[in-house]
Amino acid sequence: DGGITQSPKYLFRKEGQNVTLSCEQNLNHDAMYWYRQDPGQGLRLIYYSQIVNDFQKGDIAEGYSVSREKKESFPLTVTSAQKNPTAFYLCASSISQGRNYGYTFGSGTRLTVV
């Protein structure tokens, strides 16, 4: 079955450490997105990519970085510059840029600072 796989499901980060969240899709979708979800809040856009080797900052990109070397993969790195990284991170994809007919989401990664 086609879908989006996020790993790991749970991740613990020490202060000053960089961590990378994986997102892989086999839907042949062009566009991929990273959102952050905090309790009682909606989703906030971190980064998005419309094609391979290109990506743009979203509303809360500070302290995060991404790459898009393959169509299927869009990993997110949470750097030590992100001061409040504890949150639920969701990766999503849509069939093409501009024509958003709805996202397919992964099952999320819950990141906790210890």
Which residues bind to other proteins, rule: CB under 8 A?
4, 6, 31, 33, 35, 40-43, 45, 48, 50, 56, 58, 90, 92, 94, 96-108, 110
CB 62, min distance to other proteins, A: 18
Distance CA(81)–CA(2), nearest Å, equals 34
- Nearest to other proteins of 19, 31 (CB atom): 31
CB of 45 to other proteins, least distance (A): 6
The string over 25-63, giving b where at least 16 C-beta atoms fall within 10 Å of a residue's C-beta and e elsewhere, is: bebebbbbbbbbeeeeeebebbbbbbeeeebeebeebee
CB of 14 to other proteins, least distance (A): 23
Backbone Cα Rg of the chain: 13
58 or 63, CB closer to other proteins? 58
